[in-house]
Structure 1
Amino acid sequence: MIIFYVLMVFPITAVVSFLIYLPAYIYNKTKYGKRSVVRHLSIYCFIGVILSILYVTVFMGGITFHPGYHFLNLVPFVWVKETYLMGFAKMIEQLFMNAVMLVPMGFILPVVFPSVRKWWKTALCVMVFILGIETLQYFIGRSADVDDLIMNTFGGCVGYALFFLLNKLLGERKWWKGALNVQA
């Protein structure tokens, strides 16, 4: 699955991200003037992260608006007692992957948007984004699970922690300030 993503989906995501960012780049260049290449790269990566998450959570596996079933779990940490049909090891793997999937978003959000440079604001943005995805998943034949929301939000917080650490370590570097759009 990872090989398929790298060989097929990643290049498509990169091109679509570029096509989405190009008008924003042109608009921002005329409005704000020249910005650092690292700033443009961080915004471009943000678009790619959003598209990748949407692909994995919504589009991969197909969409149907008349699903044969609706699975909704509103009981937090139910996986501790029940492992469904997949078994304990698969459940742990799924929880881990749900957390890891949102680490890039938790990192790139505060880089791109100065208004979410506090951990709770980043966590809130990630949670609202994932709540929207989980709600959509319920209606397109996928499961909606509060545990996914919890683990995705946790992953976003881990991503923010990485941002926080890098910001402490690199805070005075010119290229880092350029990525954050902070004037030197």
Structure 2
Amino acid sequence: MLNAGMGNKFEFDKEIIMIPISDILIRSISGYVFMVPVFVLYFLWLKKLGRTQSFLHTAAVFVFGYYLFGLLTVTGIGFTSTMTFRPNISWTPFIGMITGPIDTILNIILFVPLGFFLPLLYKKYHHMKTVALTGFLFSLAVEIVQMFGWGSSDINDLMTNTAGACIGFLVYCLLSRILPANLKKQLQSSRVNAVAEVLLFAICTFAIMVTAQTWFVHDVLNVP
């Protein structure tokens, strides 16, 4: 999964390409700007329903949203302007972890924020198995989308990404012990379907990255 190497290296389809960190920022921000109106309309809709969320929760969701775009950018999704189904799948478990320990570590780290944000924002995700399942499904979605010309799919990524989400959950559990109860309450969602909300954010992020983001980067910004 992970296409970003150390420093400013970027791996795509098994080839190492030098790409500035600024380019990664351009691509992630180019997708995120289309997500901001979605967030605004969504929270206005909740307000209309009488389910106004706290300022801290709303702000944290905006940060979480940018993380999702950054995650997909680093994995190479939306890196090219065309979609061609050409799966490059590695079904052999564990071998890649041994031969590429740095990529393994980075794949784990990449999903740690996901495992941290979910319980931080939603009571529904105050269980390891729920976070692990969500991390696995999100990683699986990334691997499937990568089959359309945006990288290689690897069974090891599913394991390392899921492990990263679980580690993020453990980090949250440790930090939650020292966070003020009122602060934790303000960060949590109120009277919303947490699973549906996370699914909505994930679907919108993927959809934008493979459509509006690629158009904006390649046709408007003329980034190759």
TM class by smaller structure: 0.7 to 0.9
- The letter of the residue matching 2:188 is L
Residue in structure 2 matched with residue 86 of structure 1 by the alignment:
none
1:176 to 169, 172, 184: 184
Paired position in structure 2 for 1:29: 47
| Residue pairs, 1:6-45, within 5 angstroms | 7-45=25-63
TM-score by length of 2: 0.67
Q: Any residues of structure 2 matched to 1:1-184 within 5 Å, and which?
A: 1=8, 3-4=21-22, 7-57=25-75, 58-60=77-79, 63-67=82-86, 70-79=87-96, 83=99, 91-140=100-149, 142-172=151-181, 174-181=182-189
Q: How many residues align?
A: 172
Q: Give the fraction of aligned pairs with identical amino acids, expressed as a percent.
A: 23
Per-residue deviation, 1:96: 1.3
Distance of 1:140 and 1:27 partners within structure 2: 36
CA-atom RMSD in angstroms: 2.5
- Measured in 2, the distance between the counterparts of 1:103 and 1:5 equals 23
Q: What are structure 1's unaligned runs of at least 5 residues?
A: 84-90
Q: Which residue identity is paired with 1:55?
A: T
Q: 1:31 to 1:5 in 2, by over 3 A?
A: farther
- Structure 1 residues 80 and 52, CA gap change in structure 2 (3 angstroms): closer
CA distance in 1 between counterparts of 2:80 and 2:187 reads 35
Deviation at 1:164, TM superposition (A): 1.2
Distance in 2, Cα, partners of 1:139 & 1:48: 23
Q: Give distance in 2, aligned partners of 1:20 and 1:3.
A: 26
With over 3 angstroms needed to count, the CA separation of the structure-2 counterparts of 1:110 and 1:28, relative to structure 1, is same
Amino acid at match of 2:111: L
Q: Secondary structure at the match of 2:89?
A: strand
